[in-house]
Structure 1
Amino acid sequence: MKKNDEIITTIQDMDFDGYGLSYVDNKMIKVKGVVAGQKAKVKIKRIKNDIAEANLIDIIEKSPLEHDDVCQHFGECGGCTYLNVNYNVQLKIKEGIVKKLLDEAGIDGYEFLGVEGSPNVFAYRNKMEYTFGKDNNGNLKLGLHKKGRFYDIVTTKDCRIVDNDFAKCIDLVLNYAEKYNLPVYNGKTHEGYLRHMVVRKAAKSGELLVNIVTTSQIYHDFLELVEILKRADFEGKLVGILHTINDSLSDAVICEKLIVLYGRDYFIEEILGLKFKISAFSFFQTNSKGAEKLYSIAREFAGDLSQKVVFDLYCGTGTIGIVMAPLAKKVIGIELIKEAVDAARENANLNRINNCVFIPGDVAQKLKEISESPDVVILDPPRPGVNPKAIMDVVNFDPETIVYVSCNPVSLVRDLKMLTQRQYKVEKVKCMDMFPHTYHVECVVLMTNVKNG
Structure 2
Amino acid sequence: MPMLKPGLLVTVSVHSLTEKGDGIATLEGRPLYIEGALPDEQVEIQLNLVKPNFCQGTLVRVLQPAAARREDFCPYTACGGCQLRVMSDEAQLDLKRRLLLDVLQARGLDCPVADTLGMSEPFHYRNKAQYAVQRGPNVGFYAKHSHQLVEVDECRVQAPVTTEVVQRIRAWMRSCAVPAYNEATHEGCIRHIMVRNGIHSGELMVVLVAAEAPSDEALAQLVAELESVTGLASLILNINVAVGNRVLGPENRLLWGKELIVDSLDGLEFAISPLSFYQVNPRQTEVLYREAMRLANLQGNEVVFDLYCGIGTISLFMARHAKQVIGIELVPEAIADARANAELNAIANIEFHQGAAEQLVPQLYAEGVTADVVVVDPPRKGCDAALLATLAEMQPERLVYVSCNPKTLARDLAWLCEHGFKLEQATPVDMFPHTMHVETVALLTRMQGK
The two structures have a TM-score, normalised by structure 1, of: 0.91
Name which of 63, 68, 71 aligns with 1:68. 71
Show structure 1 runs of 5+ residues with no match.
Answer: none
Name which of 69, 77, 80 aligns with 1:78. 80
Change (3 A) 1:415 1:20: farther
Q: What is the match of residue 95 of structure 1?
A: 97
Match of 1:11, SS state, is strand
Q: Tell me if the contact between 1:71 and 1:158 (Cα under 8 Å) persists in the aligned partners.
A: no
* 1:322 correspondence with 2:323: no
Match of 1:70, SS state, is coil
Change (3 A) 1:391 1:8: farther
Q: Tell me if the contact between 1:192 and 1:217 (Cα under 8 Å) persists in the aligned partners.
A: no
* 1:197 correspondence with 2:201: no
What is the rounded CA distance, in whole Å, between the counterparts of 2:128 and 2:327 in structure 1? 25
Moved more, 177-186 or 124-133: 177-186
What is the rounded CA distance, in whole Å, between the counterparts of 2:238 and 2:310 in structure 1? 22
Q: What is the match of residue 358 of structure 2?
A: 364
Q: Tell me if the contact between 1:118 and 1:432 (Cα under 8 Å) persists in the aligned partners.
A: no
Change (3 A) 1:55 1:129: farther
Q: What is the match of residue 35 of structure 1?
A: 38
Change (3 A) 1:374 1:256: same
Q: What is the match of residue 423 of structure 2?
A: 426
What is the rounded CA distance, in whole Å, between the counterparts of 2:391 and 2:157 in structure 1? 38
* 1:395 correspondence with 2:400: no
Match of 1:18, SS state, is coil
Moved more, 60-69 or 349-358: 60-69
Q: What is the match of residue 153 of structure 2?
A: 157
Name which of 142, 147, 151 aligns with 2:144. 147
Change (3 A) 1:27 1:55: closer
What is the rounded CA distance, in whole Å, between the counterparts of 1:32 and 1:338 in structure 2? 40
* 1:9 correspondence with 2:9: no
Q: CA deviation at 1:103?
A: 1.3
Which letter maps to 2:268?
A: L
Q: Tell me if the contact between 1:118 and 1:435 (Cα under 8 Å) persists in the aligned partners.
A: no
Structure 1 runs (4+) greater than 6 angstroms displaced = 1-5
Q: Percent identity?
A: 32
Match of 2:116, SS state, is strand
Name which of 373, 380, 384 aligns with 2:377. 380
Change (3 A) 1:93 1:205: same
What is the rounded CA distance, in whole Å, between the counterparts of 1:47 and 1:375 in structure 2? 54
Which letter maps to 2:75?
A: Q
Q: What is the match of residue 127 of structure 2?
A: 126
What is the rounded CA distance, in whole Å, between the counterparts of 1:404 and 1:43 in structure 2? 42
Q: CA deviation at 1:68?
A: 2.1
Which letter maps to 1:340?
A: A
Which letter maps to 1:386?
A: C
Q: Tell me if the contact between 1:193 and 1:215 (Cα under 8 Å) persists in the aligned partners.
A: yes
Which letter maps to 2:425?
A: K
What is the rounded CA distance, in whole Å, between the counterparts of 2:46 and 2:5 in structure 1? 14
Q: CA deviation at 1:305?
A: 3.9
Q: What is the match of residue 438 of structure 1?
A: 435
Name which of 212, 217, 221 aligns with 1:224. 221
Change (3 A) 1:251 1:27: same
Q: Tell me if the contact between 1:2 and 1:44 (Cα under 8 Å) persists in the aligned partners.
A: no
Q: CA deviation at 1:45?
A: 6.1
Match of 1:13, SS state, is strand
* 1:345 correspondence with 2:339: yes
Q: Tell me if the contact between 1:13 and 1:21 (Cα under 8 Å) persists in the aligned partners.
A: yes
Match of 1:16, SS state, is coil
Per-residue CA deviation, residues 27-53 of structure 1 (Å, 9 max, x unaligned), is 4444555422252334446566xxx3x
Q: CA deviation at 1:245?
A: 0.3
Moved more, 58-67 or 86-95: 58-67
Match of 2:20, SS state, is helix
Change (3 A) 1:450 1:14: same
* 1:207 correspondence with 2:216: no
Q: What is the match of residue 293 of structure 2?
A: 299
Q: CA deviation at 1:26?
A: 3.8
Q: CA deviation at 1:288?
A: 0.7
What is the rounded CA distance, in whole Å, between the counterparts of 1:298 and 1:397 in structure 2? 20
Which letter maps to 2:328?
A: I
Q: Tell me if the contact between 1:72 and 1:158 (Cα under 8 Å) persists in the aligned partners.
A: no
Q: Tell me if the contact between 1:131 and 1:196 (Cα under 8 Å) persists in the aligned partners.
A: yes
Change (3 A) 1:33 1:265: farther
Name which of 161, 164, 168 aligns with 2:164. 168
Q: Tell me if the contact between 2:211 and 2:241 (Cα under 8 Å) persists in the aligned partners.
A: yes
Q: CA deviation at 1:320?
A: 0.4
Q: Tell me if the contact between 2:179 and 2:190 (Cα under 8 Å) persists in the aligned partners.
A: yes
